[in-house]
């Protein structure tokens, strides 16, 4: 990981409220892997302080990287006002990305909304590895379906779902996956999107015995594994989204808060176990 | 100490991650994240939420326990030429004492900071820091079991922080550090639920700085021992404020998350601040607020 002061060399409002920034950093672009993220200081000196994490959306090899984000709060709002040639304080590349190899026979990339951001980078790398893959993109409506052309250009066949039926399947992308997985029969699913969607995708993958990796999103402070603030619950206990993730094996994630072991709710580890264990 | 700047416990882990950004040898001291007797998994997420000019956290002292620290983290830290201060917390008086005994004779620890001010755990923690009687007792228990310099980290969640400071000095503290986080809460107006899994959390960051400066100033009037000033320090001038209020050193917390290089910038900044004013000794500003 590196901390760099990097120039913004391109900015685009892809659709209203969704921006892409291309940021120059040879060292980040050379070391990045799909699924990793960058941690950007969006407004130093303002009334909010923390950096904001963004998946790496695309790479200009050896030169720059691109992020794609929707304005959802103070951080993204400030970042949307950045101008070309402004300098951003960026830490990256961070986290563990998607695991893949050229031996994969077929992959399915399931994106919910802006979850497509890291998946386009993955798609380009899979293309380089000559792995056959199918993009499956979900959006609220046709006009919010982003990067369709880019995926279609390199993917085997691109599936689309929109909540209002304006393009492709009428319904959610998780729903579309459930209906199509039995004939697409991918060896592995890579998914990114809102948590309820990821949860359904994980369920479907599990049902059909398909391996599945999900990229999670949480609020973060440090981004490098120090503050232990971005915990998610896994079958191996708490893991940090920033350092252990953001990509996890879907089977390891515990989605239901009710399933959290009481030992994970403060206190010493195995305190409860010790009480009940006579040995 | 080479300089008066160190990380605040819990914002620097055991140094590994940030060693990729800065040279740890440049720090005045290195305060590690709180270590407890046995491993703790920490609190249920969400564990942090950003608020205006600060953040709330409820990590819950997640750590792998003292044995793991001595076996895995300390050997790593020993390679640096910087005083290592171990921060410890217990559920009971006896646990604080036992932690001190476990550390006895262990090579590479220069001091102990007693965390009697964590707002995010059910037992111990802040309970000790909120009562002068308990604060004195826990300090004395630690004092009895260690010969190392003993720093006690105080909570701002009390009416009279000077009284607590006095109590821990009676108990045998060699220094005090303040402030830990202020207990806070934030609610999601869409879901009507608290933003934190633990409902309440500790507020840190620039928002708490004026409270911290005031408390350092108050404590500096009351006790003679050195004070480590903590609370929302983001820049050189923030650090200078604490020194003027009476702190002999400062610890940087949340700002590390924002800028991993911030401590180095503040170390250099304090030096040039003094140089610009033709001062050769930091003592020329410590406690020199004109009131």
Q: Which of A49, A220, A233 sits opposite B254 (nearest CB)?
A: A49
Give residue B281's pLDDT.
95
A158 and A245 co-located in one domain: yes
Contact B261 A219 (CB under 8 A): no
* Residues on chain B touching A232 (C-beta within 8 angstroms): 45
Range of the domain at A238: 106-258
Q: What is the mean pLDDT of residues A75-97?
A: 95
Q: Does B51 map to a domain?
A: no
Specify the 3-state DSSP secondary structure of B217.
helix
Q: Which chain B residue is nearest to residue A261, measuring alpha carbons? A: B44
Question: pLDDT value at position B16?
Answer: 96
**A243 and A113 in one domain?**
yes
Residues A129 and A210 in one domain: yes
Count: domains in chain A: 2
Question: Is residue A126 domain-shared with residue A254, that is, in the same domain?
Answer: yes
Interface check for A267 against chain B (CB to CB < 8 A): the answer is yes
Mean pLDDT along residues B229-255: 98
Please compute the mean of the pLDDT values over residues B198-215 and round it to a whole number. 96
Q: Does A104 touch chain B (CB under 8 A)?
A: no
**Could you report the per-residue pLDDT of B67-102, keeping only the tens digit for each?**
999 999 999 999 999 999 999 999 999 999 999 999
Same domain as A113, residue A202: yes
Answer whether A181 touches B (CB < 8 Å).
no
What pLDDT, on a 0 to 100 scale, did the predictor assign at position A278? 37
Residue reference for tokens 């308990």: B134
**Averaged pLDDT for residues A108-117:** 96
User: What pLDDT, on a 0 to 100 scale, did the predictor assign at position A277?
Assistant: 37
Secondary structure, 3-state, B1-30: CCCCEEECCCCCCCCCHHHHCCCHHHCCCE
Both A60 and A133 in a single domain?
no
Per-residue pLDDT, A276? 36
Region B29-56: mean pLDDT is 95
CB A133 within 8 A of CB A188: no
Q: Which residue has the higher pLDDT, A93 or A236?
A: A93
DSSP, res B125 = T
Query: Is residue B36 scored above 90 in pLDDT?
Result: yes
State yes or no: pLDDT of A264 exceeds 80.
Answer: no
Q: Does A72 touch chain B (CB under 8 A)?
A: no
Best to test chain B binding among A266, A274, A275 (most B CBs inside 10 Å): A266
User: Which residues of B are the active-site residues?
Assistant: 118
Let me know if residue A13 belongs to a domain: yes
| pLDDT tens track for A163-172 | 999 999 999 9
Q: Tokens 């599990």 label which residue?
A: A206
Do the chains contact at B258 and A269, CB–CB below 8 Å?
no
How high is the pLDDT of residue A263? 67
| Total domains present in chain B | 1
Q: Please give the ipTM for the structure prediction.
A: 0.92
Percent of chain B whose predicted confidence (pLDDT) is above 90: 95
Inform me whether the C-beta atom of residue A31 falls under 8 Å from chain B C-beta atoms.
no
Q: Which residues from chain B sit within 8 angstroms of residue A265, using beta carbons?
A: 43-44
pLDDT confidence band for A267 (50 / 70 / 90): confident
Q: What is the mean pLDDT of chain B?
A: 95
Instruction: Compute the distance between CA of residue B238 and CA of residue A227 in angstroms, rounded to an integer.
Output: 22
Specify the pLDDT at position A260: 73
Mean pLDDT within B28-40: 96
Domain membership flag for residue B65: yes
How many contacts, defined by CB atoms under 8 Å, are there between A and B?
123
Residue B211 predicted with pLDDT over 70 = yes
CB atoms within 10 A of CB B154: 30
Contacts of B42 in chain A (CB under 8 A): 228, 231, 238, 264, 266
- B252-268 pLDDT, tens digit per residue, is 999 999 999 999 999 99
Q: Residue A253 belongs to a domain with what CATH number? A: 3.40.50.80
Q: Which of A49, A89, A269 sits opposite B40 (nearest CB)?
A: A269
Q: Is residue A266 part of a domain?
A: no
Q: Under a CB-based contact definition with an 8 Å cutoff, are residues B25 and B2 in contact?
A: no
Chain B residue numbers with beta carbons less than 8 Å from the beta carbon of A267 are 40, 121-123
CB contact under 8 A, A266 and B49: no
Q: Do A218 and B53 touch (CB under 8 A)?
A: no
Q: How far does Cα A277 stand from its chain's mean position?
A: 40
User: If you average pLDDT over every residue of chain A, what do you get?
Assistant: 91
Q: Residue B84 forms beta bridges with which residues?
A: B30
Percent of chain A at pLDDT above 70? 95
Closest CA to A23 of A50, A2, A47: A2
B231 pLDDT exceeds 60?
A: yes
The answer to whether residue A271 sits within a structural domain is no
* Nearest-10 Cα torsion for A90, A96, A98, A104: 130
Same domain, A241 and A136: yes
B256 in a structural domain: yes
Instruction: Examine the domain organization and report whether A54 and A84 are in the same domain.
Output: yes
Are A117 and A177 within one domain?
A: yes
Q: What are phi and psi of A13, to 5 degrees?
A: -90, 100
Of all residues in chain B, the one with the smallest CA distance to A265 is B43
Mean pLDDT of B232-240: 97
Assign residue A54 the CATH number of its domain. 2.40.30.10
Query: Do A84 and A151 belong together in one domain?
Result: no
Together in a domain, A120 and A233: yes
- For the cut 80, the answer to whether the pLDDT of residue A273 exceeds it is no
Is the same domain home to A127 and A250? yes
CB-CB under 8 Å, A230 with B21: no
What's the DSSP call for residue B43? Answer: P
Length of chain A: 279
Instruction: Give the model's pLDDT for residue B118.
Output: 80
Is residue A202 a contact partner of residue A255, using CB atoms and an 8 Å limit? yes
Specify the pLDDT at position B120: 73
CA distance A134 to A154: 9
> Which of A44, A47, A265 lies nearest to residue B52, judging by beta carbons?
A47
- pLDDT band for A46, please (50, 70, 90 cuts): low
Q: Which of A47, A226, A267 sits opposite B12 (nearest CB)?
A: A226
Q: Which residues of B touch A49 (CB under 8 A)?
A: 50, 53-55, 205-206, 234, 254-255, 258
Distance linking the first and last C-alpha atoms of chain B? 29
Do the chains contact at A49 and B258, CB–CB below 8 Å?
A: yes
With beta carbons under 8 A apart, name residues in chain B contacting A266.
Answer: 40, 42-44, 60, 120-122, 198
CA B224 to chain A, closest CA, distance in angstroms equals 33
Best residue in A3, A78, A228, A258 for a mutation probing chain B (most B CBs within 10 Å): A228
CATH number where B153 lies: 3.20.20.70
pLDDT at A271: 53
Full residue range of the structural domain in which residue B178 is found: 5-43+59-184+205-284
As to burial, measured by CB atoms within 10 angstroms (0-12 exposed, 13-18 middle, 19+ buried), residue B156 is: buried
DSSP states along A89-140: EEEEEESB-----TT-SEEEEEEEGGGHHHHHHHHHHHHHTT-EEEEEEEES
Across the interface, whether the CB atoms of B259 and A265 are under 8 A apart is answered: no
In a domain, A276, yes or no: no
DSSP type of residue B187: B
User: Per-residue pLDDT tens for A195-230?
Assistant: 999 999 999 999 999 999 999 999 999 999 999 999
Beginning with the edge strand found earlier in the chain, give each strand of the sheet holding A132-139 in spatial order. A169-170, A159-162, A132-139, A106-112, A188-192, A211-215, A247-249
Mean pLDDT, residues A64-93: 95
Buried b (16+ CB within 10 A) or exposed e, B201-211: bbbbbbbbbeb
Residues of B in contact with A231 (CB under 8 A): 42, 45, 47, 62
């Amino acid at each position: 990981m590196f901390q760099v002061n990097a120039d913004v060399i391109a900015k685009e409002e892809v659709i209203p409220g969704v921006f892409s920034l291309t940021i120059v950093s040879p060292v980040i672009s050379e070391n990045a892997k799909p699924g990793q993220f960058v941690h950007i200081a969006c407004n130093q000196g303002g009334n909010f302080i923390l950096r904001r994490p963004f998946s790496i959306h695309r790479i200009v090899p050896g030169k720059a990287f691109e992020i794609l984000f929707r304005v959802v709060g103070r951080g993204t709002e400030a970042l949307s006002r950045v101008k070309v040639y402004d300098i951003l304080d960026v830490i990256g590349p961070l986290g563990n990305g998607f695991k893949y190899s050229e031996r994969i026979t077929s992959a399915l990339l399931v994106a919910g909304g802006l979850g497509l951001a890291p998946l386009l980078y993955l798609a380009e790398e899979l293309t380089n590895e000559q792995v056959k893959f199918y993009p499956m993109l979900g959006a609220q409506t046709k006009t919010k379906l982003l990067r369709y052309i880019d995926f279609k250009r390199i993917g085997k066949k691109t599936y689309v779902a929109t909540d209002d039926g304006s393009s492709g399947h009428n319904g959610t992308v998780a729903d579309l996956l459930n209906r199509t997985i039995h004939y697409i029969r991918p060896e592995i699913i890579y998914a990114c999107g809102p948590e309820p969607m990821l949860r359904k995708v994980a369920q479907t993958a599990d049902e059909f015995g398909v391996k599945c990796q999900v990229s999670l999103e949480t609020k973060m402070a440090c981004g490098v594994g120090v503050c232990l603030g971005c915990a998610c619950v896994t079958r191996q206990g708490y893991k940090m989204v920033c350092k252990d993730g953001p990509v996890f094996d879907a089977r390891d994630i515990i989605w239901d808060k009710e399933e959290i072991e009481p030992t994970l709710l403060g206190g010493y580890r195995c305190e409860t176990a010790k009480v009940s264990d006579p040995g | 100490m080479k300089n008066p700047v160190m990380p605040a416990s819990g914002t620097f882990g055991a140094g590994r991650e940030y060693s990729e950004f800065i040279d740890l040898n440049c720090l005045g001291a290195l305060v590690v994240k709180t270590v407890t007797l046995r491993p703790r998994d920490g609190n249920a997420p969400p564990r942090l939420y950003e608020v205006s000019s600060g953040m709330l956290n409820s990590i819950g002292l997640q750590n792998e326990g003292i044995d793991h620290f001595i076996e895995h983290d300390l050997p790593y830290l020993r390679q640096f030429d910087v005083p290592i201060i171990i921060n410890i917390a217990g559920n009971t008086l006896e646990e604080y004492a036992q932690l001190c005994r476990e550390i006895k004779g262990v090579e590479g620890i220069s001091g102990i900071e007693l965390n009697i001010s964590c707002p995010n755990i059910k037992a111990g923690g802040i309970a000790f820091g909120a009562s002068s009687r308990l604060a004195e007792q826990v300090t004395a228990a630690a004092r009895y079991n260690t010969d190392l310099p003993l720093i006690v980290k105080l909570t701002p969640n009390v009416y009279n922080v000077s009284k607590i400071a006095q109590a821990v000095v009676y108990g045998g503290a060699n220094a005090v550090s303040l402030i830990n986080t202020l207990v806070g809460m934030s609610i999601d107006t869409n879901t009507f639920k608290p933003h934190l899994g633990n409902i309440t959390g500790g507020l840190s960051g620039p928002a708490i700085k004026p409270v911290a400066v005031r408390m350092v100033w108050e404590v500096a009037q009351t006790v003679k021992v050195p004070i480590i000033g903590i609370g929302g320090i983001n820049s050189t001038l923030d650090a200078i404020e604490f020194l003027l209020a009476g702190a002999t050193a400062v610890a940087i917390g949340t700002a590390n998350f924002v800028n991993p290089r911030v401590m180095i910038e503040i170390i250099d900044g304090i030096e040039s601040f003094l140089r610009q004013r033709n001062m050769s000794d930091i003592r020329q500003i410590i406690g020199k607020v004109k009131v």
